[in-house]
Amino acid sequence: MEDNNLEFYGSIKLVTGEEIFGSIYVDESENPPEQLVITDPICLKMINAGGVDVGFKIEPWMKFTTEDIFVIKMTQVITISEVTDSKILDTYQRYLNSSSFTTKSLSNKTSSRSNPDITKDMGYVSSVESARELLEKIYDAEDSKEL
């Protein structure tokens, strides 16, 4: 018996213009397939700084639901493409495994997020007051040079 089902990581371009990424399941027992199933879909966008790709912005495709599996009719799909780029797949897996991503309930989504501990590795750590004083000194020094 031949397995007519395909499952892969891929990107789907919808007729609405959205591009979503996730684990895609296509049941090819019907010819042509009438629908596909996508698990944990996200919107994945490249972040570009100065003409260089520096990372990804990830958002859940459906933000206000507790579901993680969605059925999409093929009439809503422009194209489907398998994604094999290990950088994208690793980023997606880290996102799914992160503590901020949970599909158990909306309350879990908000309560499981925590503020990360700020370290010197993240950049300069300062209080608002000391940063304001420093900026005022810089601004005052530049004003005195103009006179």
- In the three-class reduction of DSSP (H, G, I as helix; E, B as strand; rest coil), residue 1 is classed as coil
- In the three-class reduction of DSSP (H, G, I as helix; E, B as strand; rest coil), residue 76 is classed as helix
Q: Kindly list the structural domains of the chain, giving each domain's residue range(s) and its CATH number in brackets, ordered by start.
A: 5-114 (2.30.30.100)
pLDDT 10s digits, 121-145: 666 667 788 888 888 888 887 666 6
pLDDT 10s digits, 11-70: 999 999 999 999 999 877 778 878 999 999 999 888 888 888 887 788 999 988 888 899
pLDDT band (50, 70, 90) for residue 106:
very low
Burial of 25 (0-12, 13-18, 19+ CB in 10 A): middle
Question: Rounded distance, CA 66 to CA 71, Å?
Answer: 15
